[in-house]
Amino acid sequence: MASDNTEIKYFCDILHDRADKAVEKYGCGTAVYDYHEILDDPELDAVSVCTHNDFHSIISIDFMRHGKDVLCEKPAARILSEALEMEKISYETGRSLSIGVCNRYANSVNRIKKMIADGMLGEIYHVYASFRAYRSIPGLGGDFTTKAVSGGETLIDWGVHYLDLIMYCLNDPKVLSCDGEAFCKLGKDMKNYITTSILSLSSFLRSKMTLSLIFLSGTAMQRQNKRPKS
């Protein structure tokens, strides 16, 4: 947390304990429990918004309107209109708004981007990304699996990273049309599972190019009850 250029002034969380623990852990800053209290602090230049998705746009917009630059966690927001509003306020206020698509900074990603730009992979006409998680799946009823809070399923949680990387590596191709489908077929027997399963498929077209994304979150290893002894 130490930096010559930056000083952390506050850790804010509505769960008091979490804010307090962050101050203790990092040995800096003050704990606050309501972000409205610090909106007008003239010493505050920038904020990192890392709440659940439903508060991304609200908090980011409030801070930009109070003259602060914002780094907001991915996904930018739950729905397009929220994200567009964030973008609009960023232009209106002149504050910088950055979304935490951190994988863009990976050397491997930038190597691929350069290979594509240098023509080493030829003409790109199809991209397929597939992701499967069988562990570390957010628990049922939590913020990541409650649609009103998260705005979606696997595609909005993990998917935004892959979608962003593809668009980034391909230099933001113009999207002409887009379609997709999200399924929730696995782990329907909620009684015995602590997580849900989602398969999302999204594809879209840019002239002759098709992108396909498939995400599958499995639950096979997430049973609450212990495996019977054989």
List contacts with ligand NAD (CB under 6 A): 12-15, 18, 35, 50-53, 55, 73-74, 100, 102, 143
Q: Specify the residue, 135 or 188, whose C-beta has the smaller distance to ligand NAD.
A: 135
* Long-range interactions of 33-37: CB distance < 8 A, separation 24+: 35/59, 35/62, 35/63, 36/62
Q: Specify the residue, 166 or 209, whose C-beta has the smaller distance to ligand NAD.
A: 166
Min dist. Cβ of residue 129 to ligand NAD (A): 16
18: nearest Cα among 48, 45, 51: 51
Q: Specify the residue, 51 or 196, whose C-beta has the smaller distance to ligand NAD.
A: 51
Q: Specify the residue, 3 or 136, whose C-beta has the smaller distance to ligand NAD.
A: 136
Eight-state DSSP code of residue 51: S
Min dist. Cβ of residue 34 to ligand NAD (A): 7
Position of minimal CB gap to ligand NAD = 73
Give the up-direction half-sphere exposure of residue 164: CA atoms within 13 A in the CB hemisphere.
Answer: 19
Min dist. Cβ of residue 14 to ligand NAD (A): 5
Min dist. Cβ of residue 18 to ligand NAD (A): 5
152: nearest Cα among 52, 14, 13: 52
**Type of residue numbered 158:** W
Angle, alpha carbons 97-101-106 (nearest 5°): 125
